Amino acid sequence: MKTLALVFLGGGIGASLRHLLGGAAQALSRSATFPWGTFAVNVTGCFAIGLLAGLAEERGVPSGNARSFLFVGVLGGYTTFSSFGNETINLLRGGEALSAAANAGGQLVLGLLAVALGRASARLLWR
């Protein structure tokens, strides 16, 4: 029950952070159609999970309840690939095929690169 409570609390924190950063990124972009907010959230979330996964592998932290709180709760509430999928489909339905391809391809490539960079950063920081 303690782990469930930690995941619940972390999810609320992650969702709140997603709302704040996503809204700020979208507002800064001044784009009414391209989902820059979700784009920014997914890329930074991939970096964060890469960094934390790297630390877990290199140093064994976080572990146990802290890992559940951070990985499942905070990052699970923060990153939202369901929004990514829906927004990409909406772009396609709106005749914005190039924007849809840029959104899907950009998030995939930059997200994977961010995970790799996060893991590499963890190794460099904790040697």
**Is residue 27 within 8 Å of 96, Cβ to Cβ?**
no
pLDDT digits (tens, 9 = 90+) for 8-56: 999 999 999 999 999 999 999 999 899 999 999 999 999 999 999 999 8
How many angstroms separate the CA atoms of 102 and 118, rounded? 23
**Residue 101: closest CA among 113, 111, 92:** 92
> What does the pLDDT read at residue 99?
97
Looking at residue 124, what is its pLDDT? 93
**Are 115 and 49 contacting, i.e. CB atoms less than 8 angstroms apart?**
yes
Look over the chain and give the mean of its residue pLDDT values, rounded to a whole number.
93
Q: Which residues contact 29 (CB under 8 A, 6 or more apart)?
A: 36, 37
